[in-house]
């Protein structure tokens, strides 16, 4: 663990509010993106992301400093997200067949966004549609496969970090990742 991380952890343990704000500012986008890609729903993703930071604030004393602070943070994120997936599945309160409206609205606004990277409208639309197809396919993977695809192919975490987050050996992560990609391929193919 880096010296900066160590200092930040010490301040977090002292319940230093400024340190907590620094932690949130540094990791909020990644935590939220991970929860969003796992859950496929913005409102749920925001709710879980909030719970992640609250949990970190409450349980920072249990962090043993064997891994990087970010790895521990993502482990907390993964655990809470998996819990939420199970909870939602139990309540039958989720429709995985559709991306939420805000996602589509964001995709549409990305097409028309002024000042953004100059894209041809047809290409932008194609990109937005591809994003919808991919997210839809990700949502249909089982949660363990989804997790590996999101961590490796979207979040670009190293295999080593994924092993630390999932507590799986290197070979198992890679082998399951291959199966997950194969499943994703099967789910994407009909839409192409």
Partner 1 sequence: MSEQSTAADDAETERIEAMLSDYVEGTLSLEERKEVEAHLARHPELAADVEAMREDRKKLESLNRTPAPEELGKKVEELIHRRSQGRFFGRRAFGDRVPFGVLAIVAIVMAIIIALLLRSSSTGSLRRDPDDKPRPSDEARESIPKPDRVN
Chain CA centroid to CA 152, Å: 10
3-state secondary structure 138-168: HHHCCHHHHHHHHHHHHCCCCHHHHHHHHCC
CA atoms within 13 Å, Cβ hemisphere of 117: 4
175 binds partner 1 (CB under 8 A): yes
Question: Is residue 75 helix, strand or coil?
Answer: helix
Of 1, 5, 11, 33, the residue at the interface with partner 1 (CB under 8 A) is: 33
134 binds partner 1 (CB under 8 A): yes
Name the token pair of 103. 């996602």
Name the token pair of 121. 């409208």
54 binds partner 1 (CB under 8 A): yes
Q: Which is nearer to partner 1, 1 or 110 (CB)?
A: 110
Q: Which is nearer to partner 1, 167 or 189 (CB)?
A: 189
84 binds partner 1 (CB under 8 A): no
Of 8, 9, 19, 36, the residue at the interface with partner 1 (CB under 8 A) is: 36
Name the token pair of 159. 């295999």
53 binds partner 1 (CB under 8 A): yes
Q: How far is the CB of 189 from partner 1 (least distance, A)?
A: 8
Of 1, 67, 88, 106, the residue at the interface with partner 1 (CB under 8 A) is: 106
Q: How far is the CB of 123 from partner 1 (least distance, A)?
A: 12
Relative orientation angle of helices 42-59 and 17-39, to the nearest 10 degrees: 140
Q: How far is the CB of 68 from partner 1 (least distance, A)?
A: 20
């Amino acid at each position: 663990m880096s010296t900066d991380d160590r200092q930040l952890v010490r301040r977090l343990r002292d319940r230093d509010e400024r340190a907590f704000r620094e932690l949130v500012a540094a990791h909020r986008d990644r935590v939220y993106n991970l929860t969003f890609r796992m859950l496929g729903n913005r409102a749920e993703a925001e709710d879980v992301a909030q719970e992640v930071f609250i949990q970190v604030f409450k349980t920072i004393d249990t962090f043993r400093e064997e891994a990087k602070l970010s790895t521990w943070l993502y482990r907390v994120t993964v655990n809470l997200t998996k819990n939420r997936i199970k909870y939602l599945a139990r309540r039958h309160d989720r429709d995985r067949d559709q991306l939420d409206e805000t996602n589509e609205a964001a995709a549409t606004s990305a097409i028309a966004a002024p000042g953004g990277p100059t894209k041809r409208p047809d290409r932008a639309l194609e990109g937005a549609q591809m994003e919808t197809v991919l997210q839809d396919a990700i949502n249909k993977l089982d949660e363990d496969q989804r997790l590996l695809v999101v961590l490796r192919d979207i979040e670009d975490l190293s295999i080593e970090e994924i092993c630390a987050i999932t507590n799986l050996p290197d070979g198992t992560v890679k082998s399951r990742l291959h199966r997950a990609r194969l499943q994703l391929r099967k789910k994407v193919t009909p839409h192409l």
